[in-house]
Amino acid sequence: MLPRKKYLRALCLSIATTIAASTLISAPAGAITRYTPPVTVQAITPKFVTKASTSSSKTVQVVSQTVTKPFSVVGLTWVGSLPAGTVFKARVREAGKWSAWTELHFSDDHGVDAKSAEAAGTRFGTDPFMTAVADAIEVTMTNKSGVAPKDLKVDLIGSQETKQDRALLTSVRKLDATGSPTDAAVTPAGGVVMRPNIVTRAQWGADETWRDPVPRMGTTIVAGFLHHTASTNNYSPEQAPAQMRALYAYYTKSLKYADMAYNFLVDQYGTVYEGRNACTFGDVNPCDGPTLPVIGAHTAGLNVNTFAISAIGNYDTKEPSNPGAMVESIASLMSWKLAPYGLDPNANASMVSTDTSGASKYSNGMTAVTPVISGHRDVGKTACPGRYLYPYLPAIRARATELLAPVINSVSVTPSLIDASVPTPVNVSAVIPATGNWTVTVSNASTGELLKNSAGTQAATSAMAFTWDGTNSAGAPVTPGRYLVSIAATVGTSVLTPTTTEVVIATKPSAVTAITYKKLSRTKASISWTNPTEVLPLSTQYIRVSTNGGKTYGKWTKTSKVTPKATFKNWKKGRKYTVQVKVTNSLGESAVSTKRFTMR
């Protein structure tokens, strides 16, 4: 890590003042003006008091029961090595009750690369212990010597859920997950992978003055790692942005990292968050950070030219609450990041480790060989991403493989319903992968007769275009009916899944015929009729009645869509009734049919 020198702090604050009202451009959709909700960081001074001692271990009270301001994250940090066998435990007071004791885990394999520039000035620390809102804490330490690591600090971090957080999650749910071709990543083979919805740093409330203003960048991407934050699973969708802010504070304020450790985070409901920023703070040039190979601090020795997605929660103790949503989001994000580099989720990646901590399975200078989509435990001596999330990796790879495969994308066939009395051309378009050979055919859905066809080859991944003028192979206008527009394509030896869209050419319905009367009882009668046979199904049938020879009528009444019949009560013997019937379909309504009857 670059040292947090005073001139950098001054630079950050100066830039922040200049662009305080601006918006970070990190994603093409859903951006809102940056806001930075309050985040509190309380430093509790340890007071070491021996509580228990045996021949093999000593337990020391680090923090006695201490009342504090509200917080939701507990983290212990230190400098240098941790005495062998050290175990930290904490309990907190939530809603007036003390929780059970919880072990605070530590693994230096989660951190920055020891030989990197970011490592200078960083601290070692436990995984963040996330709680419900708490207002008191107690911490103990147990090891053989009873000696604490150098410069041990206890930090309590809190950020409350805001109305902006709730509004943000509402807007995220409304976003279309597919986007447009301009937002997509394209593989060298022409596969088009749509960008997943990503909640930007500006949206979740990152204070950009906390991070190093100039991120360190890789040159490519060779692999993606799946982690978990090893924090609480007890949070709602609306509380996740506040958790992002608390995690960000822990990494930058307590551990002194250059930024958030992970490139992306995914909550247990499937919402994707932008983690480490890849944009220079204050740069006037637009920067789409999630697309760039910024170096994170997540997998010791293997941070360069890789990226990490961390699932928010502890999945070594509990199953994901919505594994389907989480797997889909992680797979979508993995495939979108891998696409530009032509990486196969089922292949292996090779990279040289720079780890000197001893926590990685690959020490400094060794070549790590691991799946392109790996779990942290595949390369590190850790349980991360947890025994309940790790088994989902095959499903993530399989789904990413599907998303990376070349396909026919963004198919548009408009209009799909045409009034035969107003001839309208049908415009066909679809995104075809580069070098793809495509064909478009128009056929009669009833007879299979081929009416029109066209073919072409795409030089680059882009949209092809074809227009059908509503005529057959002889150039004559087709009659009302159902027609199929099919798009097929091949890329090399790969046959892409074709698409077929129905186009209906129809008319407004004809008038009903054969209106008949049937007496059911002394005061009850039924009226029935014959509906027209049309291309489009009828959507509604209406009937109304006049008792004065058609001078005035009652209201139109809907009848059954299935049975062309209506029943009337309280009709009087010898009275004349005038009945009118009309029907509608998607294009409009028929002419009105009229018939007079005398109640017998």
CA atoms within 13 A on the CB side of 226: 35
What pLDDT band is residue 173 in, cutting at 50, 70 and 90? low
**pLDDT at position 333 over 90:** yes
Cα dist. 482→210, 445, 536 in Å? Answer: 62, 5, 9
One-letter amino acid at 151 equals D
One-letter amino acid at 476 equals A
CA atoms within 13 A on the CB side of 508: 11
Tell which residue, 452, 459, 456, 450, has the closest CA to residue 438.
456
List CB contacts of 498: < 8 A, sequence separation 6 or more.
Answer: 408, 486, 487, 488, 489
Report which of residues 113 and 480 the model is more confident about: 480
Q: What average pLDDT does the structure give for the chain?
A: 89
Residue-level pLDDT at 31: 39
What pLDDT band is residue 176 in, cutting at 50, 70 and 90? very low
What pLDDT band is residue 112 in, cutting at 50, 70 and 90? confident
DSSP-derived letter for residue 471 is B
Tell which residue, 354, 332, 335, 352, has the closest CA to residue 343.
335
- Under a CB-based contact definition with an 8 Å cutoff, are residues 203 and 271 in contact? no
Angle at 505 (CA atoms; ends 500, 510), nearest 5 degrees: 140
Cα dist. 218→109, 296, 307, 314, 351 in Å? Answer: 20, 10, 10, 29, 13
Q: What is the C-alpha separation between 492 and 494, in angstroms, rounded?
A: 6
State what percent of residues in the chain have pLDDT above 90. 76
What residue ranges define each of the domains in the chain, with the CATH number in brackets?
Answer: 6-36+160-404 (3.40.80.10), 40-158 (2.60.120), 409-506 (2.60.40.4070), 513-598 (2.60.40.10)
Residue-level pLDDT at 2: 33
Which residue shows structure tokens 């601290």?
123
